[in-house]
Structure 1
C-alpha cells in the first residue's frame, strides 16, 4: 500500500489559469512560410498550428494533473479513509476521472476544429471555426470548475497533513477536547502542535517523533473526541478515529479529572470504554492536570480509569515516564521479534 508523496502532488490550476494558459498557447504561434503563398491558405495553416499547439498544451496539463493525484485504491487505508471522511471518496474519484478524461474531449474538439478550418470556404467561415473552437474549450474548462476546486482542496489538505509513515510504531494520543493531548505531545516528541485553552484547537492530526538508537517512533496528536456514535461525529473527530483504527501501535488516553476541560469524568470514562472496546490496539489511561486536581477529584478519576500514570503537562512532569512505560511494554517486544525474524531469514 502506498503513502501520500507530497512532493509528487501536482499543482492544480484554476479555471481562469487554464483559460489563460490555453489562450497564451494559442497566441504564441506565428505565421511562417513562403510569402508567395495565398493569404487565405496561409491563414488556414496558421489557424491549424494554433489549434494543434493550444489543444496539445491544454490536454497534456489536464492529464498530468489527474495522473498526479493519488489513486485511492492504491493508498494505505489510513489515507484512503481520511480522504473519504473529509471529501467523500466517490466525489474525489469522480473529480479525478472527469479532469483526466477532459484531455480526450480537448483533443476531439481540436480535431473537429481543424476539419472546420480546412474545409472553410472563406474568411468568414474560418473566423467562425476559430471562435467556435475557443468557445467550446472555454465552456469545457468552465464545466470542470467544481472538479478542479475539489482536486485543489484535496491536494492542499494532503500537503498540510504530516508525513505519516504507517509502517512505523505509532503512539496515538486520544481523549476528549481540552484535556491536554497537544501539551503531552509537545512534552514527549518533536511535534509543536498549537496549544490553547479552548476545545478543538487541534483541528488536524499532528505528528511528532521520538528518536531511538537506529529507529524512530511516531507520536500522533489527534483532534478531541466526544462521546457519541461514529455516525454522529464530525469530520474533525472522525480523523481521530481513523488514526486510532489504522495507525496505533498503542493508544495513550488522556483524562482530565478536573472540571477545566468542560467535559465530565463520566463522559470521558464512557469514551475510554468505547476506545478499549472498538479498537484492537492496546490502550493506556493517563490522568493529567494533577497539579491542580483536588484529592477528591483524583480519587474519583482513579476509580474510573485505573490509570497507568498521573502527569502534569504544564511542566511535563511524568510524561517521559509514561512514554518509557508504553515503549518498554509494547514497542520493545515488537522490535525484538523483528530482529529475530531478520536473524532467522539471514
Structure 2
C-alpha cells in the first residue's frame, strides 16, 4: 500500500494559465522554409507546426497533472478513506479522470485541425481551420475550469497532510474537544500543534514523533470527537475516526474532569465507551487539568475512567510518566515482535 508522496504532487494550472500558455506556444512558432516556396504552402506548414507544438504542450501538461495525482486504489486505507471522507472518492476520481482524459481530447482536436489545414483549398479555409482549432482548445480548457479548481484544492489539502507512516507504531490521542489533546501531544513529542482555549482548534490531524534509540514512534493529535453516531459526524471528526481505525497501536483518551471544556463527564464517558468497544487498538484514559480540578471532580472521574495517569498539560506535569507507561506496556512488546518477525524472515 502506498502513502501520499508530497514530492510527486503536481503543480495545478488554472484554466486561464493554460489558455495563456496555449496561445503563447501557438504564436511562438515562426515561418521557415525556402523563399521560393509558394506563400500558401508556407502558411500551411506554419499552421501545422503551431498546432503540433501548442497541442503537444497542453496535452502533456494535462496528462502530467493527472498522472502525478495519487492513485486512490493504491493508497493505504487510512489515506484512501481520509480522501473519501473529506473530498469524496467519486469526486476525486471524476476530477483526475476528466483532467487526464482532456489530454486525449486535445490530441484529437489537434489531429482534426491538421487535417483541415492540409486539405484547405484557399486562405479563407485555412484561417477558418485556425480559428476553429483555437476556439475548440480554449472551450475545452474553460470547460475544465471547475475540475482544475477542485484539483488545486485537493493538492493543497494533500500537501497539508502530515507524512504519516502506517508501518510505524502509532499512539493516537483522542477525546472530546478542548480537553487538552493538542497540549498533551506538544508535551510528549516533537509536534507543535496550535493550542487555544476554544473547541475545534485542531482542524486536521497533527503528527509528532518520539525517538527511541534509533526507532521512531508516531504520536497523532486528532480533532475532537463528539458523542454522536458516525453517520452524523462532520469531516473533522471523521479524520479522527480514521486515525483510530487504521493507525492506532494504542489510544490515549484524554479526559477533562472539570467543566472548562464545555463537555460533561457523562458525555466523555459515552465517547470513551464507544472508543473501547468500537476499535481494536487498546485504549487507556488520562485525566488532565489536575491543576484546576477539585478533589471531588477528580474522584468522580477516577471512578469512571480508571486512568493510568493524571496530568496537567499547562506545565506538562505527569505527561512523561504517562508516556513512559504507554511505551513500556504497548510499544516495547510490539517492537520485540517486529524484531522476531524480521529474524524469522531471514
Using the size of structure 1 for normalisation, the TM-score is 0.99
Per-residue CA distance 1:271-295 (angstroms, 9 max, x = gap): 0000001000000000000000011
**For residues 141 and 106 of structure 1, what CA distance do their matches in structure 2 show?**
9
Distance 1:243 1:323 in 2: 19
Shift of 1:341: 2.5
Work out whether 1:280 is the aligned partner of 2:270.
no
SS at match of 2:217: strand
Instruction: Indicate the residue corresponding to 2:229 in structure 1.
Output: 229
Written as runs of structure 1 = structure 2, the 5 A alignment for 1:14-25 is 14-25=14-25
Does the residue aligned with 1:252 lie in a helix, a strand or coil?
strand
Partner of 1:300: 300
| 1:30-41 aligned within 5 A | 30-41=30-41
Aligned residues: 346
Aligned partners of 2:2, 2:190: CA distance in 1, in Å?
Answer: 25
Structure 1 runs, 4 residues or longer, greater than 2 Å off? 340-346
> Who is 2:198 aligned against?
198
Residue matched to 2:253? 253
**Match of 1:312?**
312
Q: Take 2:47 and 2:339, find their aligned partners in 1: how far apart are those partners?
A: 67
CA drift of 1:340 comes to: 2.2
> In structure 1, what is the equivalent of residue 219 of structure 2?
219
- Report the Cα distance in structure 2 between the residues aligned to 1:234 and 1:338, rounded to whole angstroms: 36
216-225 or 141-150, which moves further after superposition? Answer: 141-150
**Equivalent-residue separation in structure 1 for 2:70 and 2:343 (angstroms):** 36
Residues 131-170 of structure 1 mapped to structure 2, 5 A cutoff: 131-170=131-170
Residues 146-165 of structure 1 show CA distances to partners (whole Å, capped at 9, x for unaligned) of 21122111111111111000
CA distance in 1, matches of 2:262, 2:119: 75
Cα deviation, residue 234, structure 1: 0.5
Pairing 1:66–2:60 present: no
Aligned to 2:98: 98
> What is the distance in 2 between the residues matched to 1:234 and 1:209?
27
What secondary structure does 1:251 align onto? strand
TM-score normalized by structure 2? 0.99
Distance 1:263 1:93 in 2: 39
Structure 1 residue 206: Cα displacement = 0.3
- Taking the aligned partners of 2:81 and 2:62, their CA distance within structure 1 comes to 26
Deviation at 1:214, TM superposition (A): 1.8
Residue range with higher mean Cα deviation, 31-40 or 335-344: 335-344
Instruction: Please give the root-mean-square deviation of Cα atoms over the aligned residues, in Å.
Output: 0.8
Superposed CA deviations along residues 88-112 of structure 1, whole A, max 9, x for unmatched, are: 0011111111111111110100011
Deviation, structure 1 residue 343: 2.9
The more displaced of 192-201 and 36-45 is 36-45
Q: Does 1:75 align with 2:75?
A: yes
What is the DSSP-based 3-state SS (H/G/I as helix, E as strand, rest coil) of the residue aligned with 2:293? coil
Aligned to 2:339: 339
Structure 2, unmatched stretches of 5+, are none
Give the Cα separation in 2 of the matches to 1:149 and 1:345: 47
Give SS of 2:13's match.
Answer: coil
